[in-house]
Structure 1
Amino acid sequence: MEIQRDELTAEVDPFKGDPNFMASLARGLEVIQAFTPQRRQLSISQISQKTGIPRAAVRRCLYTLSKLGFVYADDGKNYQLRPRILSLGHAYLASTPLAKSTQPVLKHLSEMLNESCSIATLDGDDILYIARASSSRIMTIDLDIGSRLPAWSTSMGRVLLSYLPEEQLNDFLARITMIRYTPQTVDSVSKLREELKRVRQQGYALNDQELEMGLRSIAVPLVNPEGTVVAALNVGVHAGQVSTQELRSRVLPKLQEAAQELSLLLKS
């Protein structure tokens, strides 16, 4: 029996009756976003189940995307994204001053600390990596430009969440599903709210093995000339090599200096 429930309802419903809203385009974009680093290959049925889009509509989306060179299926059943999909994000990265100009500063910071550094923005309930300089792989998950992680469980995400207007933060906290990734993961909304208050007060977030054992990270906000936090900068380290005390005493000052330099590149 074909799935009739459409999980796009929450996003599409407000546009019902709007003659300018293209539901087919919205569905196509949802199909693209169904692919993740953990699920690189998906069948029509799997995409339908994940998105709530009827299989017939998923099939048409994939047919169109395949003809345009964005997806392919060697066996005719299990689809994968093709490299051309990167062109969809290139325009954003090429036109965003922060993403375009930040790499030399990130590279210098990474070389100075001999650690991996990243910049991310808030995109929905996730953080979206827009720049990265990696000295070594410290996570089991490959991270690169375009990668996404749950905002609530990451140092950069907590920095960005801590500066949200109260109403937006309340909406976010009301809808998230918290997963206990490690024994050290914050496990309740009330504890997370308190942590976000602490982050806002101290001006940085320190994540000690909450997303993955062995990974510590510290993040600071990137502020535009109008005083608005538009992104976050972090450094990730091996927990066995760098203590939380060293993160605060050695890494944080360098991170804050780099954030001030990067903020000069921002435009409103």
Structure 2
Amino acid sequence: MTEASSSTAAAAGRSAGYVQSLERGLAVIRAFDAEHPRLTLSDVARRTGLTRAAARRFLHTLVDIGYVDADGRLFTLRPRVLELGYAYLSALGLPDIARPHLERLAAVLGESASASVLDGTDITYVARVAAQRIMSVDLGVGTRLPAYATSMGRVLLAGLPEAELEDHLGDLAPLTRYTITERSHLLAELERVREQGWSIVDEELEEGLRSMAAPVRDRTGAVVAAVNVSTAARRGSVTTMVDDVLPHLREAATAITDDLAASR
């Protein structure tokens, strides 16, 4: 990095070792998602804010190293991009530890069970056992959802130090007519989650969907992940879910916490 670029990075709040081209290359990869699996050069430039010339260079580099496929004017991600996520998940160890507990939880309750971690303003699924499909979005490992409107997200947000919380809230856009969008209301809900040690979200992410989550902690007691159970809201009341699901959910979260501590 040149002295000038180092000064620019420092001025932008970046470290002296910041490499802008790496950030831009990752931005090109992130331009593709479930709603935009095939993009033209112009699409990529628009979604990343890069010039067409820069977008072209990054796309062709990614094609050359096997992360992107080119078919005429259209570009798509190749399966090799999964290596980027798998490297993180393998190092974390959480998916392998959580999965048998999620399988037992899903079997006992007959409902889908998942584990996630906080990533910016989103949660990222790191393990999931689907008993049935109850959402319009097909969830799987790597799926990202807004933290503020999910039960796992609220458990993870509630576990943050107060000084870090604001950076992880993002825009509180209404996803359904029930979504909490008032910041003060959400902060009060997070305080309640912090005190009771679990969260329930009732049709705020998607109408007809209810979910309950509990924290997974490290050896110091810090919240490092969350596990949840999702069900159709029509299956019973919130009170019924608390009575019937919460004890099993807490048991699974405690077992994952214990196994995670024993593995490190």
What TM-score does the superposition give when structure 2 sets the normalisation length? 0.91
AA in 1 matched with 2:14: F
**In the alignment, does 2:97 pair up with 1:101?**
yes
Q: Secondary structure at the match of 1:264?
A: helix
Partner of 2:145: 149
8 Å contact 2:121–2:167 — kept in the other structure? no
Partner of 2:76: 80
| Among candidates 3, 20, 24, match of residue 21 of structure 2 | 24
8 Å contact 2:178–2:204 — kept in the other structure? yes
Q: Secondary structure at the match of 1:99?
A: helix
How do 1:3-14 and structure 2 match up within 5 A? 13-14=12-13
How far, CA to CA, are the matches of 1:242 and 1:73 in structure 2?
49
8 Å contact 1:115–1:136 — kept in the other structure? yes
Distance 1:10 1:54, change over 3 A: farther
How far, CA to CA, are the matches of 1:242 and 1:47 in structure 2?
45
How do 1:130-141 and structure 2 match up within 5 A? 130-141=126-137
How do 1:1-268 and structure 2 match up within 5 A? 13-15=12-14, 18=16, 20-74=17-71, 76-173=72-169, 176-267=170-261
- C-alpha displacement of 1:253: 0.4
Distance 1:49 1:38, change over 3 A: same
- What CA RMSD, in Å, does the superposition of the two structures yield over aligned residues? 1.9
Q: Secondary structure at the match of 1:14?
A: coil
How far, CA to CA, are the matches of 1:142 and 1:184 in structure 2?
21
AA in 1 matched with 2:92: T
How far, CA to CA, are the matches of 1:248 and 1:189 in structure 2?
25
How far, CA to CA, are the matches of 1:38 and 1:84 in structure 2?
19
Q: Any unmatched runs of 5+ in structure 1?
A: 1-8
How far, CA to CA, are the matches of 2:77 and 2:166 in structure 1?
35
Q: Deviations over 1:114-167 (max 9, x none)?
A: 100000000111101000000111110111001100111111001100111111
Partner of 2:4: none
What TM-score does the superposition give when structure 1 sets the normalisation length? 0.90
AA in 2 matched with 1:245: T
AA in 2 matched with 1:109: L
Q: Deviations over 1:151-204 (max 9, x none)?
A: 11111001100111111113434xx21211111111211111111111111111
8 Å contact 2:111–2:229 — kept in the other structure? yes
AA in 1 matched with 2:153: G
Q: More displaced, 22-31 or 199-208?
A: 22-31
8 Å contact 1:97–1:265 — kept in the other structure? no
Q: Secondary structure at the match of 1:128?
A: strand
Query: How many correspondences in the alignment?
Result: 255
- C-alpha displacement of 1:12: 9.4
Q: Deviations over 1:201-256 (max 9, x none)?
A: 11111000001011000000001121110000000001112321121000010000
How far, CA to CA, are the matches of 2:34 and 2:95 in structure 1?
22
Q: Deviations over 1:73-96 (max 9, x none)?
A: 32x222211111111111222222
How far, CA to CA, are the matches of 1:35 and 1:10 in structure 2?
27
Q: More displaced, 20-29 or 245-254?
A: 20-29
8 Å contact 2:120–2:167 — kept in the other structure? no
How far, CA to CA, are the matches of 2:11 and 2:260 in structure 1?
33
Distance 1:137 1:110, change over 3 A: same
AA in 2 matched with 1:136: Q
